[in-house]
A and B are shown apart, each in its own frame.
Chain A
Amino acid sequence: DAGVIQSPRHEVTEMGQEVTLRCKPISGHDYLFWYRQTMMRGLELLIYFNNNVPIDDSGMPEDRFSAKMPNASFSTLKIQPSEPRDSAVYFCASRTQSGAYNSPLHFGNGTRLTVT
């Protein structure tokens, strides 16, 4: 298995522009998570899905952030409009429901977003 695949690896954009981050989870995993990592706040959970349905979006910072999972193999995180304080590394991770409480998270290698 190729693991969790994220694209792009790096994104540099100007304030006010729309940014779309993409994720392909591991096949067969029922749960998909979006995290954001910064030096100040560490790894923060933004939103997670179960069987393509959003379950908890309480970590999404503002209405500027939205996430979708149209099918089991694809998810997007969109920021519109982007702001400099959104600069961070965004990680996607997936997890199987089978024995879920003792199954590890599998992370992608992240998208480093810089908003100027």
Chain B
Amino acid sequence: SQKIEQNSEALNIQEGKTATLTCNYTNYSPAYLQWYRQDPGRGPVFLLLIRENEKEKRKERLKVTFDTTLKQSLFHITASQPADSATYLCALDLMDSSYKLIFGSGTRLLVRP
């Protein structure tokens, strides 16, 4: 069956450390993978996109990797801050002419001051 898996347990780290979140998928062949941030009571907000032929993408303190062999994406936040505390969702863009995104269930990140 098709699955997108993100760590269901919250990731709790100290301010200043690097947070690494994982997104694994099975039985999908996404052309693109997107990462979103969701704060309580709000809708998800787009952060970064990476294409299947890109190994790594950076934006300020954020870095995303995409390994189509392992069927995995890693999302890193360097020099983490308490304001980075939120739930982070990965989404697969299947590029199957449907234009729809399939989301993982998200991982909650808590950054302690």
Contacts and interface: CB of A to CB of B under 8 A. Distances in A.
Contact of A33 (B42, B89, B100): B100
Contacts of A106: 46
A110 B43 CA distance: 6
A40 B95 CA distance: 27
A43 B89 CA distance: 9
A95 B93 CA distance: 12
Contact of B46 (A31, A41, A56, A104): A104
Contacts of A55: 98
B79 interface: no
Given A56-B98, A110-B43, 19 more contacts: A33-B100, A43-B44, A43-B89, A45-B101, A56-B100, A91-B44, A93-B43, A100-B99, A101-B93, A101-B95, A101-B99, A102-B32, A102-B93, A106-B46, A107-B45, A108-B43, A109-B43, A110-B41, A110-B42
Interface of B: 31-32, 34, 36, 41-46, 49, 51, 89, 91, 93, 95, 98-106
